[in-house]
A and B are shown apart, each in its own frame.
Chain A
Amino acid sequence: MSIKTSILSSIGQKLLLATSGLIMFLLFLIPHMGGNILFLFGKDLFNSYAHHLHKLVPIVIGIEVLMLVSISVHMIMGIRVVLANRKASAKRLSQKSSKERSLAARLMPVSGGMIFIFIVKHLLDFTIAGEKAEIDMHGQTGYDVYGMVLDKFQDPVHVAFYVLFMVAVGLHLSHALQSALQTYGIYVPREGSKIKVVSTVIATLMAATFAIIPIIAFTR
């Protein structure tokens, strides 16, 4: 078995899925959430955070490249795995719904696809087409990122879109975190598993934190 065959084996592909997912979770999702929380503490703090982040451009670009690679690997492997699984399964004609399979697990391809759509829309909203007013940041030119966020979330439909897609993020993460650990060979028991509970709690908290920003922006 060559290295290439190992990588493209069922377990190899899942290891790539888990690793690319965990990279995005640890290096992107968590710092992004940390930054977003600052929005709740008002205009000055959030703008100052955005200003300082701007100074770290080389690191930010490095992470962005890593994200692009991770998201590509994650999507390619995800699609390959899902297609192979569709082919391998045969439809039961008398199928009964099972209690074991969680909704999150069932919806992994759907929530994954939704997250991709969301990322495109989110980048269009804030990175590519985001209009920021220039402001003075302690003698330097800065941007009113806070004002841009506030402006974007004045439309309730837009707020609802963001909140709905954060539900997809929560669902995806709740299965993804525990699933990645089992793929790495860390035993996640079927019943009474603390790992499953912790996965769900982290996923829910993260989704809720992300979802609260547009709601708060709308009310301000």
Chain B
Amino acid sequence: MSKQINLTLKVWRQSKGEAGRFETYEAKNIDTDASFLEMLDVVNDELTVKGVEPIAFEHDCREGICGCCGALVNGKTHGSHDRTTLCQLHMRHFEDGQELVLEPFRADAFPVLKDLIVDRSGLDEIITEGGYVAVKTGNAPEASTTPIKKEFAEAAMDAAECIGCGACVASCPNGSAMLFTSAKVSQYALLPQGHPERAKRVKAMVSKMDELGFGNCSNEYECAVACPKGIDVKNIARLNREFIKHGFKS
């Protein structure tokens, strides 16, 4: 049964190019059935009435599939509930009177745009480098012309679950995008459709990842714990294999 709780929020406020700071707000009479973003909507309504600029946060689908939302709640990406994005995190997980610290995702490659919104376009740039397959357009081919083993199909689907939210980068002590890049490389490397551009893809995506200032993987696996889609570090091992196989050929 739902009930109402009161919370204290310490929220990071920052405009582009300015130094940020924490501001404290009260979140009153929050329904425990509300999602985290709905809670922020309620707080923002009150701030607007008071003439205070609302807290900026990114969101789109609010169904946990678009990858837009995300912030650090008490230092944890998406509030760190097992396989849950911030929009799918419900207020029933919090206690009445609790203080929550809200910060944007922190990484050198993710500059803060405003309040809780960071610029994650670096991930899009990595995709642009090789996260696609070149095929002739037209009608979809007959499905059974390219048989794919179930295990490969499943592993590729698991990798393709990545929504590109950037929680892996923000949770990594090195600000590394290895889990993201490895998922994107894996989903193509596992399927025959991805094979023609396999070598070019892994080199281009790793090179872009380095160029944008994402850190190195030191195999500490914080990313896999933080990932709201359960992307596994076996993808990082696969990315390393792909790079060993193809990265040193000119």
A residues near B, CB below 8 A?
1-3, 5-7, 9-15, 81, 84-85, 87-96, 98, 100-102, 105-106, 108, 175, 178-179, 182-190
Q: Type the 1/0 row for B233-250, where 1 means its CB is closer than 8 Å to any CB of A.
A: 110111111111001101
The smallest C-beta distance from B250 to any residue of chain A, in angstroms, reads: 6
Q: How far is the CA of A14 from the CA of B219 in the complex (A)?
A: 11
The smallest C-beta distance from B226 to any residue of chain A, in angstroms, reads: 9
B218 contacts the other chain (CB 8 A) = yes
Interface size on B, residues (CB 8 A): 54
Q: Can you sample 24 A-B contacts with CB below 8 Å? A: A9-B243, A10-B206, A10-B209, A10-B214, A11-B243, A11-B247, A15-B240, A87-B108, A87-B213, A89-B106, A90-B107, A90-B110, A91-B106, A93-B101, A100-B222, A101-B173, A106-B220, A178-B219, A179-B218, A182-B240, A187-B233, A189-B232, A189-B234, A190-B224
Q: Are B176 and A88 in contact (CB under 8 A)?
A: yes
10 interchain residue pairs of minimum CB distance: A185-B241, A88-B215, A85-B174, A88-B175, A94-B101, A96-B75, A90-B106, A187-B237, A185-B240, A85-B215
B114 contacts the other chain (CB 8 A) = no
Q: Are B222 and A98 in contact (CB under 8 A)?
A: yes
Contact of B207 among A1, A94, A185 (CB under 8 A): A1
Most buried by A among B171, B217, B219, B237: B219
- Residue on A with the closest CB to B200? A1
Q: Are B101 and A183 in contact (CB under 8 A)?
A: no
Q: Are A92 and B106 in contact (CB under 8 A)?
A: yes
Contact of B214 among A88, A93, A95, A106 (CB under 8 A): A88
Instruction: Decide: A10 near B220, CB < 8 A? Known: A88-B176, A93-B103.
Output: no
Residues of A within 8 A of B13 (CB): none
- Residue on B with the closest CB to A98? B222
Instruction: Decide: A182 near B250, CB < 8 A? Known: A85-B173, A92-B72, A105-B218.
Output: no
